[in-house]
């Protein structure tokens, strides 16, 4: 084996690290030391992160002595892709497996609770931001409505004023028409009377005499 084994710091911070077996090293790094190299398991996804090789472990025939050793990659639990856990212990393997499962379950539960807390915080922040935006929108809508209402009120007031002015002018014109009609009626009555007078000879003579006296009277000095 070369390089180092996993340390406690590998599961808490720093660049994700892995260990490979000798078969993996012989296949992919035949003429060089793989320790310090970085690999990535993209599986068709470009967002997967790079993993640094920190050690090379011996080959293990986990599927039986009759089967060849395959390429193996070992990683800490936080890396997420590990689906098998290999532990060396002097205790009863069953007891150790139960303890490991309990620790793993507790860790996953803790991560779930932490993720839930973070999600709750994000939801609260989004709710506050949304409430603020709704308040701003409501204020903007109210201001717009007040402005529109004010403009409509001014327009209606101006329209009413214009209508009253038009009605006043119309009333004055109707009064002028009434006076003209009255004057026309009086003139028609006078024309009719004059026609009647002119049609009667006796009345026409009296009318002519009266008009002549009025003309003479108007032409003579006063007091004569």
Q: What is the DSSP letter of 77?
A: G
Q: Which residue has the higher pLDDT, 86 or 203?
A: 86
- The fraction of the chain above a pLDDT of 70, given in percent, is 75
Query: How do residues 14-35 score in pLDDT, each as one tens digit?
Result: 778 999 999 999 999 999 999 9
Quick: pLDDT tens for 181-204: 888 887 877 767 666 655 665 555
Could you give the 3-state DSSP secondary structure of residue 50? coil
Q: Identify the bridge partners of residue 74 per DSSP, sorted by sequence position.
A: 19
pLDDT of amino acid 178? 86
Three-state SS at 190:
helix
- Model confidence at 79, pLDDT cuts 50, 70, 90, reads very low
Q: Determine the 3-state secondary structure of 109 from DSSP.
A: helix
Torsional sign, CA 210, 212, 213, 217: positive
DSSP secondary structure code for residue 53 in this structure? E
Cβ distance 37 to 24 under 8 Å?
no
Overall pTM surpassing 0.85 (yes/no): no
């Amino acid at each position: 084996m070369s390089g180092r084994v996993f340390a406690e710091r590998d599961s808490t911070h720093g660049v994700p690290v892995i260990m490979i077996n000798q078969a993996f090293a012989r296949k992919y790094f035949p003429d060089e030391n793989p320790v310090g190299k970085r690999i990535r398991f993209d599986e068709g996804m470009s967002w997967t992160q790079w993993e640094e090789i920190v050690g090379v472990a011996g080959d293990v025939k986990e599927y039986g002595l009759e089967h060849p050793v395959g390429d193996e990659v070992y990683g800490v639990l936080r890396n997420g892709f590990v689906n098998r856990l290999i532990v060396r212990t002097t205790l009863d393997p069953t007891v150790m497996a139960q303890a490991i499962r309990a620790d793993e379950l507790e860790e996953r539960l803790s991560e779930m609770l932490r993720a839930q807390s973070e999600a709750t915080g994000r939801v609260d922040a989004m709710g506050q931001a949304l409430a603020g935006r709704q308040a701003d929108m409501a204020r903007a809508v109210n201001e717009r409505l007040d402005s529109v209402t004010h403009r409509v009120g001014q327009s209606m007031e101006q329209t009413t004023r214009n209508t009253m002015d038009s009605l006043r002018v119309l009333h004055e014109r109707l009064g002028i028409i009434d006076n003209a009609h009255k004057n026309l009626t009086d003139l028609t009555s006078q024309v009719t009377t004059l026609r009647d007078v002119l049609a009667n000879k006796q009345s026409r003579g009296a009318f002519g005499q009266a008009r002549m006296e009025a003309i003479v009277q108007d032409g003579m000095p006063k007091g004569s």
